[in-house]
Amino acid sequence: MLRTILIPFFFMIPRTFEAAQINYIKVPSAVQNGSEHSILLDCIYSLRPDDSGLVVKWFLNDAVIYQWIPPQKPQALGLMKGKLNLSYEASNDPIMMYRSMNIINPTADMAGEYKCLVSTFTDEDFSSKNMIVFVPESSLELFQSGYDNKGINFTCTTTEVYPEPKLLIFRDVEDKYQDRKYMEAIEWSTSKLPSGRYSLTTTSTVPLDILSPGSLIHCDLRIPGTGYIKRKSMLYYPLSKNDYLTSSIEPSEVVS
């Protein structure tokens, strides 16, 4: 009598542990060009106790700009030469001490994709984030630019902004978001200057039947991806052919 014997086989799937692993990186999403305060880019990583040959590098748009090979001092390379605080210590741990980049005075040419690369003799890991370096406007103006028996034209202009902003003309009653009446642009133009910055003009028509003397008209300048908003406001009064009776309110600035 034949008997079948089943012999169980156990397949062992090895569990792998990465020798170098980046937990997360901290990169500001937006900073102002030429701001007096320094900014910090941090790279938080984990290593195994037996790891050796640590190298930490930072890249900007795929070009290496920072390197630290313990126990040596960190180096600023390429665009960042002379622009980093190389004595900044992110940690007392000798294998974490100089993991960060402390940029002294961020400028527009420092915008782009930042990548932190951590490597050892056995493994490497990287993580990246984008940073916008924006340039506020040189000027922002709002004025009445024409009228007929049906509506009033309002024109908003701005110069020397980076990156390309948006201009929105609107009226409101109590300056509440839900009360805003955004006006469709009837004319607009955008110019990219030799400096790489932008100048914009937009014109909207507001029907006379929704305007009353003393109505507030606003123009918001917004730089996408930065939270930067600058506002120019004015009071509307009926126009005559020879006189534009307007009253100005000082522009307000909101930056978040």
Quote the CA–CA distance of 172 and 114 in Å, as a whole number.
Answer: 41
Q: Which CATH class is domain 20-134?
A: mainly beta
Most confident of 128-137, 201-210, 213-222, 232-241: 128-137
Q: What are the pLDDT digits (tens) for 120-172?
A: 999 999 999 999 999 999 999 999 987 777 788 999 999 999 999 999 999 87
Q: Which residue ranges make up each domain of the chain?
A: 20-134, 139-255
In 162-241, which ranges are E strands? Answer: 166-172, 181-182, 185-192, 198-207, 216-223, 228-235
Alpha-carbon dihedral sign for residues 33, 39, 43, 44:
negative
Average pLDDT, the chain: 84
Quote the CA–CA distance of 176 and 178 in Å, as a whole number.
Answer: 6
The answer regarding whether domain 139-255 maps to CATH 2.40.160.60 reads: no
Q: How confident is the model at residue 211 (pLDDT cuts 50, 70, 90)?
A: confident
243, pLDDT greater than 60: no
239, pLDDT greater than 50: yes
Q: What is the pLDDT of residue 242?
A: 54
Quote the CA–CA distance of 198 and 189 in Å, as a whole number.
Answer: 10
Domains 20-134 and 139-255 share a fold: yes
45, pLDDT greater than 90: yes
183, pLDDT greater than 90: no
**Could you tell me which residue, 9 or 182, shows the higher pLDDT?**
182
Q: What is the pLDDT of residue 180?
A: 60
Q: What is the pLDDT of residue 246?
A: 41
**Could you tell me which residue, 16 or 121, shows the higher pLDDT?**
121
